[in-house]
Amino acid sequence: MYSIRKADTPVGEATLIKFTNASGASVELSSLGAGIISLCVPDKDGTLTDVVLGYDNIADYAGDGPCCGKIPGRYANRIAKGRFTLDGKEYTLPVNNGPNHLHGGPDGFQNKIWNVAVINENSVVFTLESPDGDSGYPGTVSVEAKYTWTDDNRLELELTAHSDAPTVINLTNHTYWNLGGHDSGSALEHTLQLCASEYLPTDSTLVPEGVKVPVKGSPMDFTEAKAVGRDIRLPFPALVFGKGYDNCWAVDNYEPGKIQRVATLKHPKNGISLEVLSDQPGVQVYSGNWLTGSPKGKNGAEYHDYDAVAIECQDFPDAPNVPAFPSTVLRPGETYRRNIHFVLS
Question: Residues of the chain with pLDDT > 90: what percent?
Answer: 99
* Selected residue with higher pLDDT from 237 and 118: 237
Q: Reduced to 3 states, what is the DSSP secondary structure of residue 111? A: helix
- Give me the torsion for CA of 103, 104, 108, 110, rounded to 10°: -20
Average pLDDT, the chain: 97
Selecting among 174, 182, 267, 341, the annotated active-site residue is: 174
pLDDT of residue 118: 80
> Is residue 153 predicted with pLDDT exceeding 90?
yes
Between CA 140 and CA 106 the distance in angstroms is: 18
* Contact of 14 with 5, CB cutoff 8 Å: no
**CA–CA separation, 181 vs 201, rounded Å?**
32
- Predicted TM-score (pTM) of this structure: 0.96
Output the pLDDT for position 186. 97
Rg for the chain (alpha carbons), in Å? 19
Nearest CA among 267, 295, 117 for reference residue 188? 267
Entry field: residues in the chain:
345
Q: Which H or E element spans position 143?
A: strand 141-149
Strand locations in 152-245, DSSP E?
154-163, 167-168, 176-177, 191-194, 198-199, 213-214, 226-227
Residue 37: C-alpha distances to residues 30, 172, 301, 334 (Å): 7, 15, 14, 31
> Is 319 strand, coil or helix?
helix
Clarify whether 267 is annotated catalytic: no
Q: pLDDT-based confidence at 124, cuts 50/70/90?
A: very high
- Host domain of residue 183: 2-344
110 φ, ψ (degrees, to nearest 5): -65, -15
Average pLDDT over residues 286-311: 97
Domain count for the chain, please give it: 1
Categorize the per-residue pLDDT at 47 as very low, low, confident or very high, splitting at 50, 70 and 90: very high
- We report the CATH number of the domain holding residue 233 as 2.70.98.10
Known active-site residue 174: yes
> Of 83-87, 115-119, 196-200, 315-319, where does mean pLDDT reach its minimum?
115-119
pLDDT tier for residue 77 given thresholds of 50, 70 and 90:
very high
b vs e for 74-86, b when ≥16 Cβ sit within 10 Å of the residue's Cβ?
A: bbbbbbbbbbbeb
Set 101, 267, 312, 341: catalytic member: 312
Within 10 angstroms of residue 57's Cβ, the number of other Cβ atoms is 12
Task: Please state, as a whole number, how many other Cβ atoms lie within 10 Å of the Cβ of residue 28.
Answer: 23
Q: What share of the chain is helix, strand, coil (3-state, %, to 5)?
A: 5, 40, 50
Quote the percentage of the chain above a pLDDT of 70.
100
pLDDT tens digit string along 182-227?
A: 999 999 999 999 999 999 999 999 999 999 999 999 999 999 999 9
